[in-house]
Structure 1
Amino acid sequence: MAGQREHGYARYRLDGCRCYVCAAARSRYDENRTKAITAGTWQPFVDAEPVRVHVRQLQECGMGLRAIAAVAKVDRKVLQAVLNGRPERGTGPQGKMRPEAAAAILAVEPTLENLAPRTLVDATGTRRRIQALVAAGWPQQYLAEYLGMQPGNFGCFLARASVTVGSVLAVRAMYDALWRVDPLEHGATPAGVERARRHAAAKGWAPFGAWDDDTIDDVDAFPDWTGQCGTPSGAQTHSRLGILPACLPCKQARNAADRERRAQARGAAAA
């Protein structure tokens, strides 16, 4: 709103402020403009269409205009003009815009930190982090209490296909805080730790070492239990390390290798 902008070029032009800061900003703008015109690089406006597409993509990811404007540090009216124009002036979506504003908006990414806390996102990474903690011996009731949840609701939480951004960030913080910590040193009983580990083993929940930071949130990734999972030697490594049964990617890789060997044998026999 007028009168609330920071002192600078925009306030000089839009609010009529003639203080020293605003006047100096106008002087710098004019000087830079003259230099750019002389050099042939003056570009006062750029196409608004890429910005419009980007803003709509951010909205589809759950970011509202207020959040986008806050991250980009632009007035929300700039986004509204790009998307819908200014109906009060009878204008349609803006075709051109200032390059500085365009660059700031295009730099906004739909990261978890930028999304509203109640935005729903895929629960895969959240579920895997909790499962890894249980595999390390953390009883589920301790994890529920850590997150401020009722233990009775924790099982339902684990079964959800999507969770809120706030829950994702809370679980990530818990995971980072506990993955190197011995639950026995924080009140868990030996029996409780053993039950948690047995439960995780029965469910086939992967431990910390099976995930990398760049795979744990990937829906299509699989845990690497042995360091060779998904390769023809993976199933044998499972057996050697006593990590049984072998995981599905290892079984599939072994079966594919067996089919290839049989095919080569048939080819050799036919020749």
Structure 2
Amino acid sequence: MSTTTGRAHGNAKYHLEKCRCPICCKAARDYENNRYRAIAYGRWQPFVDAEPVRQHVRALGEFGIGWIRAAKLAGVSTGGVSKLLYGDRPRGLEPSRRVRPETALKLLAVEPTLDNLGDRTAIDGTGTRRRLQALVAMGWTQSELARRMQMNRANFGKTIVSELVEVATFKTVRRLYDELWRTDPVAAGVPEHRATAARQIAVSRGWAPVGAWDDEQLDDPEAWPDWTGWCGTPKGRSIHYRIKVPVCAPCRQAASQQTAPDHKEAA
């Protein structure tokens, strides 16, 4: 299972690997503040300071968006971005000190979104894991999902539990989930006994089903699945027992908070 990329703590690690350490949080804040200031400044100045733009282009490089790709995404000349970063070496000129505001704004508008990131860029695997596990909980076998993803079965086995995945893998899984989450696997050709076995595997490993997730929660590492419709409340724990699903952390916490005053009085 992949757990690290060796990526240094900073803005890229904050966004791509969801690291929330003080170093990454500060780097993300500094990056956004720099970008917003530069955009505001560039709206009215005839020429603007090149340094914030240069920092932004270099920051994009940490996300795997090289300066040539950044120039193409922005719709500006690669020659101009080269001079912004490196100067004109044959002529012995230093990197640009000022740039036109329209050039600055176009480059600053390029953000490290999934559509802009390179396919091989490693990102947090939370949403990928949850989508694949939810499909298995429906009865989709891992072999069938691997086949539909055109992925080796052994690699699929790593992907379904991996902490980090490549952007291309995330996009493939997202498309597959959107295609299958409302489709009965047996009706689609998965043998009944194999679908039942897949569901049993999901239960034994605590993999949440599709219905436990809201769409906006799937990619949020801080979100918990709502197994019962009452998870996070005292009522949730009893429903867990009734449906024979291990009690989730929010339900354990809610039950603990409910009984805590009684313990205190007894003491």
> Residue 132 of structure 1 contacts residue 205 of structure 1 at CA under 8 Å; is this kept in 2?
yes
Q: Which residue of 2 aligns with 1:250?
A: 251
Deviation at 1:152, TM superposition (A): 3.7
Moved more, 114-123 or 135-144: 114-123
| Distance of 2:152 and 2:193 partners within structure 1 | 21
| Distance of 1:231 and 1:78 partners within structure 2 | 58
| Distance of 1:231 and 1:80 partners within structure 2 | 57
Residues 25-84 of structure 1: per-residue CA shift (max 9 Å, x gap): xxxxxxxxxxxxxxxx96321222332222222211221112211211111233233333
Specify the SS of the correspondent of 1:114: coil
| Distance of 1:98 and 1:254 partners within structure 2 | 61
> Residue 67 of structure 1 contacts residue 115 of structure 1 at CA under 8 Å; is this kept in 2?
no
Moved more, 229-238 or 126-135: 229-238
Deviation at 1:243, TM superposition (A): 5.0
Specify the SS of the correspondent of 2:215: coil
Specify the SS of the correspondent of 1:94: coil
| Distance of 2:44 and 2:160 partners within structure 1 | 55
> Residue 61 of structure 1 contacts residue 110 of structure 1 at CA under 8 Å; is this kept in 2?
yes
| Distance of 1:211 and 1:57 partners within structure 2 | 33
Moved more, 221-230 or 191-200: 221-230
Q: Which residue of 2 aligns with 1:9?
A: none
Specify the SS of the correspondent of 1:113: coil
Q: Which residue of 1 aligns with 2:260?
A: 259
The answer on 1:170 being equivalent to 2:175 is no
Per the normalisation by structure 2, the TM-score is 0.76
Per the normalisation by structure 1, the TM-score is 0.75
Q: Which residue of 2 aligns with 1:160?
A: 162
> Residue 149 of structure 2 contacts residue 172 of structure 2 at CA under 8 Å; is this kept in 1?
yes
The answer on 1:83 being equivalent to 2:85 is yes
CA 1:108/1:261 → structure 2, altered by over 3 Å: closer, same or farther? farther
> Residue 63 of structure 1 contacts residue 116 of structure 1 at CA under 8 Å; is this kept in 2?
yes
Deviation at 1:233, TM superposition (A): 4.0
Q: Which residue of 2 aligns with 1:107?
A: 109
Moved more, 243-252 or 200-209: 243-252
Q: Which residue of 1 aligns with 2:47?
A: 45
CA 1:229/1:52 → structure 2, altered by over 3 Å: closer, same or farther? farther
Higher Cα radius of gyration: 1
Letter in 2 for 1:148: Q
Letter in 2 for 1:159: V
Specify the SS of the correspondent of 1:121: strand
Q: Which residue of 2 aligns with 1:118?
A: 120
| Distance of 2:78 and 2:263 partners within structure 1 | 65
Q: Which residue of 1 aligns with 2:67?
A: 65
Query: Which residue of 125, 130, 133 corresponds with 1:131?
Result: 133
Aligned length: 225
Residues 236-267 of structure 1: per-residue CA shift (max 9 Å, x gap): 44345x2522101221232133225544x47x
Two-structure CA RMSD over aligned residues (Å): 2.2
| 1:194-209 to 2 correspondences below 5 Å | 194-209=196-211
Deviation at 1:193, TM superposition (A): 0.8
Higher relative contact order (CA 8 A, sep 6+): 2
Kindly, what percent of the aligned residue pairs are identical?
A: 48
Q: Give the unaligned 5+ runs of structure 1.
A: 1-40
Q: Give the unaligned 5+ runs of structure 2.
A: 1-42
CA 1:239/1:107 → structure 2, altered by over 3 Å: closer, same or farther? same
| 1:172-251 to 2 correspondences below 5 Å | 172-239=174-241, 242=243, 244-251=245-252
| Distance of 1:256 and 1:48 partners within structure 2 | 55
CA 1:257/1:50 → structure 2, altered by over 3 Å: closer, same or farther? farther
Moved more, 96-105 or 52-61: 52-61
Letter in 2 for 1:251: R
Q: Which residue of 2 aligns with 1:142?
A: 144
Specify the SS of the correspondent of 2:123: strand
Specify the SS of the correspondent of 2:186: helix
Moved more, 157-166 or 114-123: 157-166
CA 1:57/1:198 → structure 2, altered by over 3 Å: closer, same or farther? same
Specify the SS of the correspondent of 1:70: helix
CA 1:91/1:163 → structure 2, altered by over 3 Å: closer, same or farther? same
